[in-house]
Amino acid sequence: MHREVSALISLIEDPDEEIYTQVKKELHRYGDALIPQLEFYWEANSLGPLFNRRVEQLIQELHYGGIYRRLREWKESNQDLLEGLLILNRYHYSTESEEELKHRVLKIRQDIWLELNDFLTALEAVNVFNTVLFKIYGFQGVHHHSHGHLTLSDLLNTKLGEPLIIGALYSWIAESLDIQLPAINMPGYCILAYQEVDLDGQPEILFYVNPHESGQVMCLEDLESMLKDLQYPYDIRFFQSCSRVEWMARLINAFINEAMAKQDKDKVQELRALQSLMLE
Asked if residue 28 and residue 124 are part of one domain, the reply reads no
Asked if residue 184 and residue 245 are part of one domain, the reply reads yes
Asked if residue 236 and residue 102 are part of one domain, the reply reads yes
Query: What pLDDT score was predicted for residue 145?
Result: 62
Asked if residue 243 and residue 116 are part of one domain, the reply reads yes
Class of residue 268 by CB neighbours under 10 A (exposed 0-12, middle 13-18, buried 19+): middle
Tally DSSP H helices, then E strands, for the chain. Answer: 12, 5
**Domain final residue pick, 27, 48, 77:** 77
Determine the 3-state secondary structure of 144 from DSSP. coil
Asked if residue 255 and residue 229 are part of one domain, the reply reads yes
Query: What pLDDT score was predicted for residue 146?
Result: 61
Determine the 3-state secondary structure of 219 from DSSP. coil
Asked if residue 177 and residue 245 are part of one domain, the reply reads yes
- How many domains does the chain contain in total? 2
pLDDT above 70 for 21: yes
Radius of gyration (Cα) for the chain, nearest Å? 22
The rounded percent of the chain whose pLDDT value lies above 90 is 65
The pTM of the full predicted model, rounded to 2 decimals, is 0.89
Q: Which amino acid is at 91?
A: Y
**Domain final residue pick, 56, 77, 98:** 77
pLDDT above 90 for 246: yes
34-84 pLDDT, tens digit per residue, is 888 787 777 766 667 777 888 888 889 999 999 999 999 999 998 899 999
∠ at Cα 81 (274, 197), nearest 5°? 135
176-221 pLDDT, tens digit per residue, is 999 999 999 998 889 999 999 888 878 899 999 999 999 999 999 9
**Domain final residue pick, 46, 61, 77:** 77
| Whole-angstrom distance, CA of residue 197 vs CA of residue 211 | 22
Q: Which amino acid is at 23?
A: V
Asked if residue 21 and residue 123 are part of one domain, the reply reads no
Asked if residue 249 and residue 151 are part of one domain, the reply reads yes
| Whole-angstrom distance, CA of residue 237 vs CA of residue 33 | 42
Asked if residue 260 and residue 209 are part of one domain, the reply reads yes
Contacts (Cβ under 8 Å, ≥6 apart) of 80:
172, 175, 176, 244
Query: What pLDDT score was predicted for residue 44?
Result: 67
163-176 helix and 122-130 helix, angle to the nearest 10 degrees? 120
Query: What pLDDT score was predicted for residue 180?
Result: 94
Query: Could you please report the per-residue DSSP string of 171-203?
Result: HHHHHHTT-B--BB--TTS--EEEEEE-TTS-E
Class of residue 48 by CB neighbours under 10 A (exposed 0-12, middle 13-18, buried 19+): exposed
CA atoms within 13 A of residue 72's CA, in its CB half-sphere? 10
Strands 160-161 and 192-197: unpaired
∠ at Cα 84 (92, 277), nearest 5°? 85
Strands 203-210 and 216-218: antiparallel
What burial letters (b/e) apply to 117-144, b meaning 16+ CB within 10 Å? eeeeebeebbebbbebbbeebebbbbee
Query: What pLDDT score was predicted for residue 79?
Result: 83
**DSSP type of residue 142:** -
Residues of the domain holding 193: 81-279
Query: What pLDDT score was predicted for residue 9?
Result: 74
